[in-house]
Amino acid sequence: MIKIVEQPINTEEVIDLVKSDAAGAIDVFIGTVRNKTKDNRVTRLEFEAYDKMAISEMEKIAERAKSQWPVEKMAIYHRKGILGIGEIAVVIAVSTPHRKASFEACQFAIDTLKETVPIWKKEVFENGEVWVAAHP
Amino acid sequence: MRIQILSFGIAKDIIGGSTTEIEIPDDQNTVGHLKSKIIDQYPRFEDLRSLKIAVNNEYAQDEQSISAEDEIVIIPPVSGG
């Protein structure tokens, strides 16, 4: 249910993982590569991951979500390597009995992922590159 | 004792590779001391928004002690998603 992949993510596959007869809602977050940051045109993103720890931190997120909301299943796929504009970097899918909890648990998962999971993204521009969020 | 350290992201750029070794005195074998040594040797770490250390796949507190057998990784500010 939790994976770091080097090939394009199949969103349908991630959604299928969380389907459950007890669920009345599945919420899906898809993070995609944007073509600019402020006024700088982005040409690609490069993701690096400390795989072992990234997986264990994402597992913790799923566990915490399950302790706070009535989550049936949660799946998180994060891609690494070089991604072009419009490609999918992350997919989070969560199923719950009712919709409100699925929205909340999914938002919690992506917000926490951005704070705790050891994955790094470099934005490559036409005239330079920067590790995102590295500096204040 | 010599501590082997792995690095990712901007930490790799600052160190100039994905591994380095840091010498710390045996009586100062804590994450906090290690961080100070890293910043002494590579002052650019001070410019980062944060600097964390992972010991054996878990975020470590400054007072945690370390040994040469631990897997120690510099975690610069993360930016997944």
Structure confidence at residue A113 (pLDDT): 98
For chains A and B, count residue pairs whose Cβ atoms are closer than 8 Å: 80
Average pLDDT (A24-33) is 98
B56 touches chain A (CB under 8 A): no
Tokens of B17: 């590779």
Q: Picking from A11-20, A37-46, A81-90, which range would have the lowest pLDDT averaged per residue?
A: A37-46
Contact B10 A131 (CB under 8 A): yes
Contact B49 A135 (CB under 8 A): yes
Average pLDDT, chain A: 97
Q: Which of A52, A117, A135 is opposite residue B78, by nearest beta carbon?
A: A117
The yes-or-no verdict on residue A38 having pLDDT over 90 is no
Q: Which of B47, B48, B80 is opposite residue A117, by nearest beta carbon?
A: B80
Contact B6 A122 (CB under 8 A): no
CA-based nearest residue to B66, from B48, B79, B49, B53: B53
Structure confidence at residue A2 (pLDDT): 98
What residue ranges in A8-96 does DSSP mark as E strands? 25-32, 36-37, 40-49, 73-79, 81-83, 88-96
Structure confidence at residue B16 (pLDDT): 96
Q: How far is CA A19 from the centre of its chain?
A: 18
Contacts of A115 in chain B (CB under 8 A): 78
Q: Are A51 and A114 in contact (CB under 8 A)?
A: no
Cβ-count burial A1-17 (b if 16+ within 10 Å, e if not): ebbbeeeebeeeebeeb
Q: Which of A53, A120, A136 is opposite residue B49, by nearest beta carbon?
A: A136
Q: Which of B12, B48, B75 is opposite residue A118, by nearest beta carbon?
A: B75
pLDDT in tens, A80-124: 999 999 999 999 999 999 999 999 999 999 999 999 999 999 999
ipTM (interface predicted TM): 0.95
The yes-or-no verdict on residue A25 having pLDDT over 90 is yes
Cα dist from B81 to A74, A112, B48, B51, whole Å:
16, 10, 20, 19
Place of tokens 């264990």: A56
Contact B8 A49 (CB under 8 A): yes
- Walking along chain B (81 residues) 10 residues at a time, the average pLDDT comes out as 96 97 94 97 97 98 96 98 95
pTM of the model: 0.96
The yes-or-no verdict on residue A39 having pLDDT over 90 is no
